[in-house]
Amino acid sequence: MKSRKKLISFFAGLSLALFLLCSSIIFSLNFKPLYSFDVDNLNISAEVNMPKEKILKNYDILIDYLSPFNKKNLEFKDFPMSQEGRVHFIDVKNLFNKISFLWVITFALSLITIAYLLKIKDFSFLKYSYSMLIMIPLLLFIPFVISFDKTFTKFHEIFFSNDYWLFDPVKDPIINVLPEKFFLHEAILILFIMCIFSLVLFFIHKSKKRK
């Protein structure tokens, strides 16, 4: 009985950690103010000789396209797109669809398992969850500091089965308004949110242990 409860607690912690990881990614993807800030911060308008308003409209089109509820084809207003570029954005959308699916599944699993554990006043799942959540930022911190460029490349090699992510700026000028530093900022935001979630769960677990 004790080992069964421990297994459920671990599974609940894992489900909650995955749910919060997916939540961090989904929130960061849809947090458009970060890109708006980076258009100014990284001088993107000057680099591509295009007004900020136009750049933001095209970015909005991309983010709306990546939504799992969007069934329309991707068509930028001010940027042409090669077949390779189109295929890559389809691959990106499929990846985010999988993340959204995992978000829903882990939410349901967390709800069921945590409801059971709260009923028997077992809060050990919180320890599993905050430990898993903090491990990812800690593990990624070193490769990020050493070389985000290599980490970024390795990410694409792992999650994509082709090299279409290596955009030709002539054929796919959209890449000129999506500099690597912006993706670094996105990654930092994701890891920061995960750290916040981990700290919140840590303090909740600590307060429950005192009672």
Which residues lie below 8 Å from residue 102, measured CB to CB, with a gap of 6+? 18, 22
pLDDT category of residue 210 using cuts at 50, 70 and 90: low
Q: Is the pTM of this model over 0.85?
A: yes
Residues 144 and 187: beta-carbon distance below 8 Å: yes
Tell me the mean pLDDT in the region 12-26: 96
pLDDT value, residue 148: 87
Per-residue pLDDT reduced to its tens digit, 36-94: 999 999 999 999 999 999 999 999 999 999 999 999 999 999 999 999 999 999 999 99
Residue 42, both tokens = 């990284």
Q: Which long-range contacts (CB under 8 A, 24 or more apart) does 82-90 make?
A: 82/168, 82/171, 82/172, 84/164, 84/168, 84/171, 84/172, 85/164, 85/167, 85/171, 85/172, 85/174, 87/162, 87/164, 88/160, 88/162, 88/164, 88/165, 88/167, 89/62, 89/65
Question: At 161, is the secondary structure helix, strand, or coil?
Answer: coil
**What is the DSSP annotation of 52-80?**
HHHHHHHHHHHHHHHSTT--SPP--SS--
How far apart CA 55 and CA 45 sit, in angstroms, is 8
- Residue 1 pLDDT exceeds 60: no
Which residues lie below 8 Å from residue 83, measured CB to CB, with a gap of 6+? none
What is the chain's mean pLDDT, rounded? 93
pLDDT-above-90 percentage for the chain: 82
- Residue 142 pLDDT exceeds 90: no
pLDDT value, residue 5: 85
Helical pair 180-210 and 124-159, crossing angle rounded to 10 deg: 170
Q: Which of 92, 113, 95 is nearest to 103 (CA)?
A: 95
